[in-house]
Every structure is written in structure tokens, then in C-alpha cells.
Amino acid sequence: MEINNVVDTLREIEARPRRYENIDGTAEMSFGLMILSLTLMGYLGPIVEDHATWPSGLVGFWLLVLGTIAAYILTANVLTRLIKKHITYPRTGYVAYRPITKENRWRTLAFVIGLSAAAAGLASLAPMIQRNHESSALRAVMVLAFLGPYALLVLHVWKDYRWKRYLVLAYAAGLLAIAFLVPGNIEQLARPVMALSSSVWLGSGIATLVAYIRHTQAPIGEE
């Protein structure tokens, strides 16, 4: 029994560095920015297509995609570095994570392939479902796909941030309201869903950062 406890405690301690990655909310903010950039792309698409100087067709589409991705990577990277360097490390210390090692390379690869296959499977379902009617199943999938990752994150940190449980409930209510109330096809539905999701992730990340700053103090002087 005693040793069982030691093993459990050891497992918990080993998981702490992973939780440290988002102690300042930067992981949530980065994900929120990613969704925000995709949302902007959705809104920008129709606007730039009407613009005479923007290349038409596939070239225009890929320009938009690459531009949005580049803007996202730059913003998320700069923001994360700045917060880590000026806020997190002076308060609770610098951490460098291990690069992907030989042992977990295959696991990572299997995870990426599995995730891509699942996404491709879902995407292939879309036209089939859309053909029937206004895609109630696809709406459900969309709600789950957006709510799932955030709920999973909250499940891991709910003891530290109890308020996030209420945010999950509010997020679920918001997604359901959109799924029930917004008419139209999946493209029209995606915009408000993504706008809400980016607000939730970004808001949650900013609130985490504020809580972190309030509960920690930057020490002055030597280590």
C-alpha cells in the first residue's frame, strides 16, 4: 500500500513539468491564436476574393492560408517567448524540455498518424452527412471536436483552476446554442463556432496568466 502510494506520487511529480508549460496560460493563448487565425481566414476569404488585386483561384486560397499560418506562428512564438522570458522564468524558474527521443519518437509518430487518420475520417463523412439535410450529426461532431480538447485540459488542471469548470459549462452552452440556432451549412456554422472557441481559449489563457502573476512574485537578487 505504502509503495503503491510512492509510485502514484512519483507519477504525479513526473507529470509536473508538463503542467508547467501552461502555468502562465501561454499554451492556451497559442491555441486560441491558432483558432483566431483560422477564424479570420474564414472571414477574410470572401473579402479578398472580391478584391481585384488578390490572385484568384487556388493561388489566392493558398496565399491566404500560408499568410494566416505565418502570422499565427510569428505571433504565438513571439508572445510565448516574451511571457516566458519576462514573466515566468523570473518568477518560477526556467525550464528546457527534452527533445523527442528515440524511445518516444515512434509513439509521437503513431499519435500524429492516428490523429490525421481520425481527422481525415471525419472529413470524409462531411459530404455524406451534408447531402442528407442540414447536417445535425456534423453539428454534433463539431461541438464535440471543439469542446473536447478544452474539457480535456480542464480535467487535468481543475484542482488548480476551479473556475475553468464553469468556463467549460459556459463554452458547452455557447456551442450548443450556436449548433441549434445558427442556420446554414457547415461553413456558415464554423465561423461563429471558431470565433467563440478562440475567445474561450484566449480568455482562459489570459485569465490563467493574470492568476499566475497575482499568485507569484518576481524575486530580486541572487539565486
Partner 1 sequence: MNTQIRALSELDRVIHEPGRLMIVALLSGLRECDYRYLVHETEMNKGTLSSHLARLEEAGYIEIEKTFRGKIPRTLLRLTNSGREAFAAYRKSLKRSL
How far apart CA 23 and CA 34 sit, in angstroms, is 19
Piece of the chain touching partner 1 by CB under 8 A; list 7-15, 49-57, 74-82, 129-137? 7-15
**Structural contact between residues 204 and 164, judged by C-beta atoms closer than 8 angstroms:** yes
CB atoms within 10 A of CB 206: 14
Half-sphere exposure of 203 (CA within 13 A, CB side): 13
- Torsion of Cα atoms, 138 then 140 then 143 then 144, to 10°: -110
**Structural contact between residues 212 and 19, judged by C-beta atoms closer than 8 angstroms:** no
Work out which of 92, 126, 130, 203 binds partner 1, going by CB under 8 A. Answer: 92
How far apart CA 94 and CA 92 sit, in angstroms, is 7
How far apart CA 92 and CA 218 sit, in angstroms, is 8
Work out which of 46, 52, 58, 97 binds partner 1, going by CB under 8 A. Answer: 97
Task: Copy the grid coordinates of residue 174.
Answer: 455557447
Piece of the chain touching partner 1 by CB under 8 A; list 11-19, 59-67, 72-80, 118-126? 11-19
Piece of the chain touching partner 1 by CB under 8 A; list 86-94, 112-120, 121-129, 150-158? 86-94
User: Which one, 99 or 183, has the nearer CB to partner 1?
Assistant: 99
Question: Under the criterion CB under 8 A, does residue 7 sit at the interface with partner 1?
Answer: yes
Question: Under the criterion CB under 8 A, does residue 17 sit at the interface with partner 1?
Answer: yes
Question: Under the criterion CB under 8 A, does residue 54 sit at the interface with partner 1?
Answer: no
Piece of the chain touching partner 1 by CB under 8 A; list 48-56, 93-101, 109-117, 149-157? 93-101
The binding track of 18-37 with respect to partner 1, each residue x by CB under 8 A or -, is x-x-----------------
Nearest residue to 137 via CA among 192, 173, 178, 179: 179
Work out which of 46, 93, 121, 183 binds partner 1, going by CB under 8 A. Answer: 93
Closest contact distance (angstroms) between CB of 92 and partner 1 is: 4
Interface ranges with partner 1 (CB under 8 A): 3-4, 6-7, 10, 13-18, 20, 89, 92-99, 219, 222-223
